[in-house]
């Protein structure tokens, strides 16, 4: 994929995940510092872990401070536009999260494939990029991470990553493969939100 287009997608995903963090912080009545922290870990947490695991250091937001500016400006804009987050429709937070999730999985797969050629590792890093920040966000908010609950979340990431890497394997262009993966992840996640789809949970007797 064209590097500049990938960069735009990355900044877009950063803003979307930051919004997700701000909305959750607002629901939990956090102060401005808490809002920024929750937005930041949501937006760059997964990518930071990915870069450290791949040895792509310094991590992306240290090399390029635009990510931090996007987070800060997104926090400011969201706080100004959303005065009473509790009155927002229930689906706003999960839909924002789904969009950011799909974009970040694609970013994670694309960046990993540029650094090495293992499809399996690319899928894993895509899932980590998409879910890592949300896991940190939910832990800080004292909630069970969405990826560990019965919701179809990580499965959507895995499916999108597989479609992305498989498309590349069969010679489909990087840009088209990226979009196919993003659409796959987003479609599955939105379907799960719309129809309340979930995975079976483990119940142990004793």
Phi, psi of 151 (to 5 degrees): -65, 150
Range from 22-31, 82-91, 118-127 that averages highest in pLDDT: 118-127
Q: How confident is the model at residue 81 (pLDDT cuts 50, 70, 90)?
A: confident
Which residues does 43 contact at the CB level (< 8 Å), separation at least 6?
13, 14, 15, 17, 18, 21, 67, 70, 71, 74, 100, 133
Given a cut of 70, whether residue 86 has pLDDT beyond it is no
Q: Is 206's pLDDT higher than 90?
A: no
As a whole-number percent, the residues of the chain with pLDDT over 70 amount to: 93
Q: What is the pLDDT confidence band of residue 22, given thresholds at 50, 70 and 90?
A: very high
| pLDDT tens digits for range 27-42 | 898 999 999 999 999 9
pTM: 0.91
How far is Cα 141 from Cα 61, in angstroms, rounded to an integer?
Answer: 23
The answer on pLDDT for 125 being more than 70 is yes
Which pLDDT value is given to residue 126? 97
pLDDT, tens digit (0-9, with 9 covering 90-100), for 158-203:
999 999 999 999 999 998 999 999 999 999 999 999 998 888 877 7
Please give the structure tokens belonging to residue 4: 């500049």
8 A C-beta contact, residue 96 and residue 19 = yes
């Amino acid at each position: 994929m064209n590097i500049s287009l990938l960069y735009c997608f990355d900044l877009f995903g950063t803003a979307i995940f930051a919004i997700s963090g701000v909305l959750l912080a607002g629901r939990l009545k956090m102060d401005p510092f808490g809002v920024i922290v929750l937005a930041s870990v949501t937006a760059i947490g997964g990518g930071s872990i990915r870069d450290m695991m791949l040895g792509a250091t310094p991590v992306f937001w240290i090399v390029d401070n635009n990510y931090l500016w996007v987070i800060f400006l997104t926090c400011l804009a969201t706080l100004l536009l959303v005065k009473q987050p509790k009155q927002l429709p229930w689906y706003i937070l999960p839909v924002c999260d789904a969009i950011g999730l799909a974009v970040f999985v694609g970013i994670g797969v694309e960046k990993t494939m540029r650094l090495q050629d293992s499809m399996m590792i690319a899928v894993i890093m895509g899932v980590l990029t998409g879910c890592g920040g949300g896991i940190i966000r939910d832990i800080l908010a004292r909630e069970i991470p969405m990826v560990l609950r019965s919701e179809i979340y990580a499965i959507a990431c895995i499916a999108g990553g597989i479609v992305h890497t498989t498309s590349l394997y069969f010679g489909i262009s990087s840009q088209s493969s990226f979009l196919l993966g993003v659409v796959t992840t987003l479609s599955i996640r939105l379907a799960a939100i719309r129809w309340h789809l979930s995975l079976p949970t483990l119940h142990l007797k004793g």
